[in-house]
């Protein structure tokens, strides 16, 4: 009996505390009206709409979505997977940045030390490498899914164009990362790649010069590609991702069969 009374008191105290926290200005400034965490939330159609409208995570979709659009089997979550891989690459990339210096004298040694002497170094490096390969694959498969569903048709044609830019940026991220280990494979792959770009009509020589930061591959090329890889291309990608996600919502969510 005494135990039950104690238990009751504890539950009363918890209810009081919950009430106090939920009534505070700080709590209500974080959770917007209609949130399930607000005091007195009821499961009404209006509140359900609010939950979607006010959540950053649910914001990708419009307030009302077609039933097929929320099925994983429709999109195979390939867009979401591409985004997840982008985040994974950012996190693992930041780890690698702590141990890597982009100079011809240090780059290769730094990667070697990372793999052999740093705790989790080999694991994180491989996560970054495999993540990059997988992202190229998942973005390509996402594009194929969009194509086979005819989701590039109006009103989504602009988002298709944004998607093509994202595909190019994904390939650029992958290619600029290739030089950074500064090994024979990287050097010759980038030599072949930049030679091919040298055949660009009219501006070929200039494109090659800008990419190599000179006439041939050297330590300046490494610094240039490093900055492109860790700062410039990811920054531009984030901007286009934001536009891409915003348009998925504004174009009426995921398209359905005609
Ligand atoms: C970094 C690369 C990309 C990311 C992270 C990404 C992410 C997403 C996400 C999360 C969605 C909504 C869910 C889904 O369809 O899976 C989506 C939809 C869409 N994406 Fe992408 N995407 C990328 C690249 C591309 C590419 C390369 C294309 C085409 C060239 C494209 C075209 C579209 C279109 C048209 C939609 C709307 C699909 C529909 O209404 O059914 N995206 N994207």
Q: What tens digit of pLDDT does each residue of 149-201 get?
A: 999 999 999 999 999 999 999 999 999 999 999 999 999 999 999 999 999 99
Helix, strand, coil shares of the chain as percentages rounded to 5? 70, 0, 30
| Least confident segment among 72-76, 100-104, 160-164, 236-240 | 72-76
CB of 160 closer than 6 A to ligand 1? Answer: yes
Give nearest CA residue, ligand 1 atom 24. 163
CB of 139 closer than 6 A to ligand 1? Answer: yes
Distance 70 CA to ligand 1 centre (A): 15
What pLDDT is stored for residue 168 in this prediction? 98
> Which ligand 1 atom sits nearest the alpha carbon of residue 78?
16
Distance 142 CA to ligand 1 centre (A): 6
Helix 184-197, helix 157-178: angle, nearest 10: 130
Q: Which of 57, 160, 244 to mutate to test the pocket of ligand 1 (most atoms within 8 A of CB)?
A: 244
CB of 254 closer than 6 A to ligand 1? Answer: yes
CB of 107 closer than 6 A to ligand 1? Answer: no
Work out the percent of the chain whose per-residue pLDDT is above 70: 96
Class of the domain covering 74-250: mainly alpha
Q: What tens digit of pLDDT does each residue of 7-37 get?
A: 678 889 999 999 999 999 999 998 887 788 8
What pLDDT is stored for residue 6 in this prediction? 61
Distance 156 CA to ligand 1 centre (A): 10
What is the rounded CA–CA span in Å between residue 200 and residue 215? 16
Range 61-80 average pLDDT: 87
CB of 78 closer than 6 A to ligand 1? Answer: yes
**Is residue 4 very low, low, confident or very high in pLDDT (cuts 50, 70, 90)?**
low
Work out the percent of the chain whose per-residue pLDDT is above 90: 74
What is the rounded CA–CA span in Å between residue 50 and residue 42? 11
| Whether this model's pTM surpasses 0.85 | yes
Specify the higher pLDDT residue, 66 or 189: 189
Q: Which of 246, 74, 71 is nearest to 151 (CA)?
A: 74
Residue 187 neighbours by CB distance under 10 Å: 16
DSSP one-letter string for 185-220: HHHHHHHHHHHHHTTSTTTHHHHHHHHHTSSS--HH
Q: Where are the domains of the chain?
A: 74-250
């Amino acid at each position: 009996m005494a135990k039950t009374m104690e238990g009751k008191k504890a539950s009363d105290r918890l209810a009081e505390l919950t009430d106090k926290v939920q009534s505070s200005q700080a709590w209500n400034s974080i959770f917007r009206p209609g949130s399930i965490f607000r005091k007195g939330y009821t499961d009404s159609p209006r509140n359900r709409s609010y939950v979607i409208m006010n959540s950053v995570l649910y914001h990708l979709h419009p307030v009302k979505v077609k039933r097929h659009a929320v099925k994983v089997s429709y999109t195979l979550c390939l867009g979401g997977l591409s985004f997840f891989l982008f985040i994974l690459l950012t996190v693992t990339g930041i780890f690698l940045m702590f141990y890597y210096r982009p100079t011809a004298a240090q780059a290769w040694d730094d990667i070697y030390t990372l793999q052999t002497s740093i705790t989790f170094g080999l694991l994180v490096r491989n996560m970054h490498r495999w993540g990059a390969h997988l992202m190229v694959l998942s973005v390509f498969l996402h594009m194929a899914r969009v194509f086979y569903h005819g989701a590039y048709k109006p009103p989504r044609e602009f988002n298709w164009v944004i998607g093509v830019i994202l595909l190019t940026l994904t390939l650029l991220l992958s290619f600029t990362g290739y030089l950074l280990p500064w090994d024979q494979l990287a050097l010759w792959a980038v030599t072949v790649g930049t030679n091919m770009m040298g055949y660009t009509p009219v501006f070929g020589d200039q494109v090659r010069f800008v990419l190599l930061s000179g006439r041939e591959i050297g330590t300046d090329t490494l610094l240039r590609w490093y900055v492109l890889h860790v700062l410039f291309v990811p920054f531009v990608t984030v901007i286009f991702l934001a536009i891409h996600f915003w348009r998925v919502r504004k174009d009426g969510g995921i398209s359905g069969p005609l």
